Copies of this chain bind each other. A is one copy, B any other.
Amino acid sequence: MNTTPTEHTIAAWARLLRVHTQWQERVQSALKAAELPPLAWYDVLLELHRKRHGLRQYEIGERMLLPKHNLSRLLDRLEKEALVTRRASPEDGRGNRVLITRSGRRLLQRMWPVYGRVIQECLEQRLTAAEVTTLAKLLDKLQQ
């Protein structure tokens, strides 16, 4: 194997990084403009919203690729705003089960339009449907 990536590889790499920061910036500033909390809150709430019986902290961490100590404090903030609740886990005495609250769901509903709009502007409106599919397939091969 060659010792260094090809020029094309480097170009693709760099562009992905750049696109990501641009997206990130667009999302966060749109949320802020709407006086909504940061994107990470949305991600947690969405994961929880899908699971009627909540999730263990480590499960959220795995899904979000977030280190546990980081997640622990993120949940502190969410809990302080009464968007989630932590209750002792029945199946494991160490852990706890995290549930979304009613106002957590409400916040989710308020955030989605803002977030979704940015997704449309940054992605959907710039590619054809076929291109989006191709992109998704390629990114899928890069995962994990």
Contact = CB atoms under 8 A, between A and B. Distances in A.
Interface string A12-53: 110111111111010000000000000000000000000000
A5 B143 contact: no
A22 B65 contact: yes
Give how many copies assemble into the complex: 2
A136 B18 contact: no
Interface residues of A, number: 46
A140 interface: yes
Contacts of A9: 119-120, 123-124, 132
Nearest to A131: B138
6 contacts: A4-B113, A12-B133, A126-B142, A134-B134, A134-B138, A135-B138
Interface of A: 1, 3-6, 8-13, 15-23, 25, 65, 112-113, 116, 119-120, 122-124, 126-127, 129, 131-136, 138-144
